[in-house]
Amino acid sequence: MESKRDTGNGMYTITTGKIDIEQVTAKTIRPEHGATLAFIGTTREWTHGKRTVLLEYEAYEPMALKAMEQIGNEIAQKWEGARCAITHRIGRVNVEEASVVISVSAPHRETCYEASRYAIERLKQIVPIWKKEVWEDGSEWKGAQTGPWNPLE
């Protein structure tokens, strides 16, 4: 049985069901915006030489929703006029399925590209969502996956 939780405004959602990419994108499209990007994070089959069977996500949902909304607020402050919507899936996510969809729209494409990258990097930094990588021969829980790129710089 699918369940959804959101921030009340519908812009930031956690779901156990498949993510409707068009629905997430529709939340950010505006007539005054000339650019909309959808980042779709999917489960890949191979990671560091290991065949992935599926990913499993868990979240501290109330805090995760607040953090996702914080990201949207940061984007709106950093890039005037930009809008952001985020939907993240929890539970089991099979290979090729989407675990996260981030839609960003802005008046111009440069802003849209910058804000979209900011959103996914910041999500990995501050949103309390953990994933379990399940391989053919075992599994491992992963925490925050911050990389060398700092979205706050």
pLDDT in tens, 1-44: 678 888 888 999 999 999 999 999 999 999 999 999 999 999 99
The confidence score (pLDDT) of residue 145 equals 54
Tell me the CA distances in angstroms from 4 to 15, 102, 106, one per residue in order: 4, 16, 27
pTM to 2 decimal places: 0.91
Report how far residue 66's alpha carbon sits from residue 12's, in angstroms, rounded to the nearest whole number: 9
Q: Can you tell me the distance from the alpha carbon of 115 to that of 122, in angstroms, rounded to the nearest whole number? A: 10
What is the mean pLDDT of the segment spanning 108-112? 96
pLDDT at residue number 20: 97
SS3 label, residue 75: helix
Domains of the chain in start order, with CATH, are 4-137 (3.90.1170.40)
Lowest mean pLDDT among 30-39, 116-125, 140-149: 140-149
